Amino acid sequence: MYPAANQEIVVRIVGSKIVRKIRVNRFVFEVFDEKTSNYVSKHFAYCMPVIGAQLHRQRGFRVRMNDNIDYPQILEVIEEVPLPKTERKKKSSAVP
């Protein structure tokens, strides 16, 4: 879980699913540090479907979090943020 403390952060969405009977979204994301241009940690948080519809995998967003560390939520999508491409390692097909 993300240690929510009513802050604005930049995230890259890694995955999502719908959970619970009230059908909230659970997003897995990487926190991006704009000063160092690095991804610093991976967490998850919840949001209502109206907010979740604005978030898309492999894209960056500046979001505002709530202040409940026991139930971290994305309260607002402030803007989409361009992020550097991550390098994907190709599997070697060479047989030793």
Domain encompassing residue 58: 8-81
Structure tokens at 51: 């907010």
Give the N- to C-terminal CA distance of the chain in Å, as an integer: 42
Residue 86 falls inside a structural domain: no
DSSP letter at 5 equals -
Residue 3 falls inside a structural domain: no
Q: Write down the H helix ranges in the chain.
A: 49-52
pLDDT over 60 at 94, yes or no? no
Q: What is the reported pTM? A: 0.84
CATH number of the domain where residue 34 is located = 2.40.50
**Domain count within the chain:** 1
pLDDT over 70 at 31, yes or no? yes
Please report the DSSP string for 66-80 in residue order: -S-TTS-BEEEEEEE
Question: Looking at residues 51-68, what average pLDDT do you find?
Answer: 96
Instruction: Please state, in angstroms and rounded to a whole number, the distance separating the CA atoms of residues 84 and 22.
Output: 35
Residue 88 falls inside a structural domain: no
Residue 89 falls inside a structural domain: no
Question: Looking at residues 61-69, what average pLDDT do you find?
Answer: 97
Mean pLDDT of the residues in the chain: 90
- Answer with the residue of higher pLDDT: 61 or 92: 61
